[in-house]
Structure 1
Amino acid sequence: RDAQARRLLLIALVNAAPVAVTSTLFLFYVELALEAPGWEGPLLLLFFLAAAAAAPLWGILAERHGPHRVLLVAMALGIASFGGALLLGPGDVALFALVCLASGAVLGADLTLLPAMFASRMAQISPSAAEGFGLWSFVSKLTLAFAAVALLPALERAGLQTAAGTSSDTSISLLIWFYAGVPCALKLLAIALLASAKDVETP
């Protein structure tokens, strides 16, 4: 029933969608677009280590400048860092490692600031409302299901095959755009929603 809580949940839904898309397509991107089977684990580890290492820094910045402003900057940096994946191709493992490092560091803001803003709002309106955090978890899970249902069948219809060397050039191009282009577009939408919600930090 609280307008600010609903707005934060909507932002969380849209903002979680890019991560859901990249999580769904990560293995395909590394194996088929970069043609680098075996690098999935190290690259994924680098991504999450960067997110964990950067999270405290984002918290410090949020205390100094406010979570709303800092999160907007982090989202914009996320687009700038992850957009580079659109330009990569076979053999560009080292460059993609840099993308993982930069985008992982930016993800640290998403993982800490937006949930903290929601928790702060819940503490103000209903400290014992566990349903609120249940909804928060639900919107994150929903994006994963949506990404799998919406993107994987489209790639299959385009001719994407899991075996290396058997996919058409069109399907590989579509995979790259789905993996990097769609998340950037969704992040732009999340930025627009957050920028218009200037009251989310006020009691």
Structure 2
Amino acid sequence: MFKERQITSMSLLAYALPAAAFAIPTIPVAIHVPGLYAEDMGLGLAAVGAALLIARFFDIISDPLAGIISDRFPLPWGRRKTWVILGALAAGFGLYRLFSPPAGADINYLLTWSVVLYVGWTFVTVPYNAWGAELSETYDGRTRITTAREACGVIGILVASIAPFLLSYMELDDEASRQGIVWIAFMFGTPALIFLILLVPERPRPPSAKPYFSRASLKAIAKNSLFIRLVTAWFLNGTANALTVILLPLYIKYVLAVPHETRDALIFLYFASAVLALPFCAKLSKRLSKHQSWSVIMTGASLTFLLVPLVGPGDVWLFAIVCAITGAALGADLALPPAMQADVIDIDRLHTHEERAGLFFAFWGMATKLALALAIGCAFPLLDATGFVTDGTTNSPPALMMLMVLYATVPAALKFAAIGLMWNYPLSRKRQEALRRRLSRRPSSPRKRAAA
């Protein structure tokens, strides 16, 4: 068996902690920015929606740019960590400006600082995830790293979900509450980034005799069938999860019909279950494999959605079971596929002699964002077409049926499609160890490789 070069527990903690800070602003941005600019600033929903859509376009196309730059252009602090720091500074400043618009801020102000925020986030997440893939060379070690990182990320989401309750006790106005989120992220993020810089090692980019975008290397990506298969399953399952997350509050409010506090408790249960399930997912992947563990857990989530048609008004405990199991499955979705992504990058390293984890995780990020865009772009128009309303009036049975189908039936079908791709996935622990042995015997010098 290929021997693990273990990352120390201190380095692992230092690597994972920034994920909490990076995740804290995500929910507040999604909730507060549209209302702030459409209503408080008087820009209107149509204009705000168009501006945010354009900003998201820049967000998506910035992924490959961030991957290429972090792969090829190291700065004094390192190939990954420098870009993480610069991206965090840009995202933090963009977040501050978005949440503190001056009087008379127009649509160009919203567009400019949304682009700064989203592109900054991209320059954080792409190098950060690629860095994690390079911290371990072994099958189970990569699961350990992604599990720690994603646990911290979900904890950041939980902090963001309870922050409004904590800030409400301080009797702050709306602007001060928004700034409170910025300061919470800053207080978490600053020490976490300092520990990241000081305590986490980074693999230097080896010398290369080949151009980064040679025809042969690009063909290697296209022919990396396991990468294509994995990212397709990731996209399908990501679309399923996006539908579940964006429709969960609507389902609780209009089908379960419970008070606001119960809704918040169920949403908290969903994300808390993801954190609590992560150690179980890591242990299961050691007993089986990453792809089979992921498939088993996706199957459990898909079957749990069969309970959703049984949920009626007031059925809190039955729906709590749905939230707990599907939330636990979210933990596996966050931890296991990125660890598998690190494994398929070994195939590219073997065939191209290049370190391009940043570029691969850029494609991964694009698939994630496209999945969310597809979920939003399909779910809300379909609900609108059936007459679904959020103005307090009673929804018709067809509208509620469409909500149930989009929240449960479609995600279950998408997850089963992802399971079909993953169940017989051939990159097992044994094959990955064979890949690492071949890579360890490869000459490190480009001149030696050319002569080999």
- Is the CA contact (8 Å cut-off) linking 1:46 and 1:101 kept in structure 2? yes
Q: How many residues align structurally?
A: 202
- Residue 286 of structure 2 corresponds to which residue in structure 1? 63
User: Which of 239, 243, 248 is residue 17 of structure 1 equivalent to?
Assistant: 239
- Residue 156 of structure 1 corresponds to which residue in structure 2? 384
Higher-Rg member (1/2): 2
- Residue 329 of structure 2 corresponds to which residue in structure 1? 106
Q: Which amino acid aligns with 1:30?
A: I
CA gap 1:105/1:17 in 2 versus in 1, 3 angstroms: same
Tell me how far 1:56 sits from its aligned partner.
Answer: 1.2
> What is the CA deviation profile of residues 62-85 of structure 1, one whole-angstrom value per residue up to 9, with x for unaligned ones?
112211221121111111223312
Out of 41-50 and 161-170, give the one that drifted further.
161-170
> Residues 23-38 of structure 1: matches in 2 within 5 Å?
23-38=245-260
- Is the CA contact (8 Å cut-off) linking 2:278 and 2:331 kept in structure 1? yes
> Residues 142-181 of structure 1: matches in 2 within 5 Å?
142-181=370-409
- Is the CA contact (8 Å cut-off) linking 1:22 and 1:179 kept in structure 2? yes
- Residue 340 of structure 2 corresponds to which residue in structure 1? 117
Counterpart CA distance in 2 for 1:161 and 1:63 is 47
> Residues 178-197 of structure 1: matches in 2 within 5 Å?
178-196=406-424
> Residues 84-95 of structure 1: matches in 2 within 5 Å?
84-95=307-318
Counterpart CA distance in 2 for 1:82 and 1:166 is 24
C-alpha RMSD of matched pairs (Å): 1.6
User: Which of 186, 193, 200 is residue 427 of structure 2 equivalent to?
Assistant: 200
- Is the CA contact (8 Å cut-off) linking 1:35 and 1:164 kept in structure 2? no
Tell me how far 1:37 sits from its aligned partner.
Answer: 4.2
Tell me how far 1:13 sits from its aligned partner.
Answer: 0.6
Counterpart CA distance in 2 for 1:116 and 1:89 is 38
- TM-score, normalised relative to structure 1: 0.92
User: Does 2:255 match 1:48?
Assistant: no
- TM-score, normalised relative to structure 2: 0.43
- Is the CA contact (8 Å cut-off) linking 2:292 and 2:422 kept in structure 1? no
> What is the CA deviation profile of residues 150-183 of structure 1, one whole-angstrom value per residue up to 9, with x for unaligned ones?
1211111111001334321210111111111111
Percent identity over the alignment is: 34
Q: Which amino acid aligns with 2:399?
A: S
Counterpart CA distance in 1 for 2:231 and 2:308 is 28
Answer 1 or 2: higher relative contact order, Cα 8 Å, separation at least 6. 1
> What is the CA deviation profile of residues 117-152 of structure 1, one whole-angstrom value per residue up to 9, with x for unaligned ones?
111221442344301111111111111111111121
Counterpart CA distance in 2 for 1:173 and 1:90 is 14
Q: Which amino acid aligns with 1:88?
A: V
SS of match in other structure, 1:176: helix
- Residue 230 of structure 2 corresponds to which residue in structure 1? 8
- Is the CA contact (8 Å cut-off) linking 2:285 and 2:293 kept in structure 1? yes
User: Which of 62, 72, 89 is residue 295 of structure 2 equivalent to?
Assistant: 72
Q: Which amino acid aligns with 1:36?
A: V
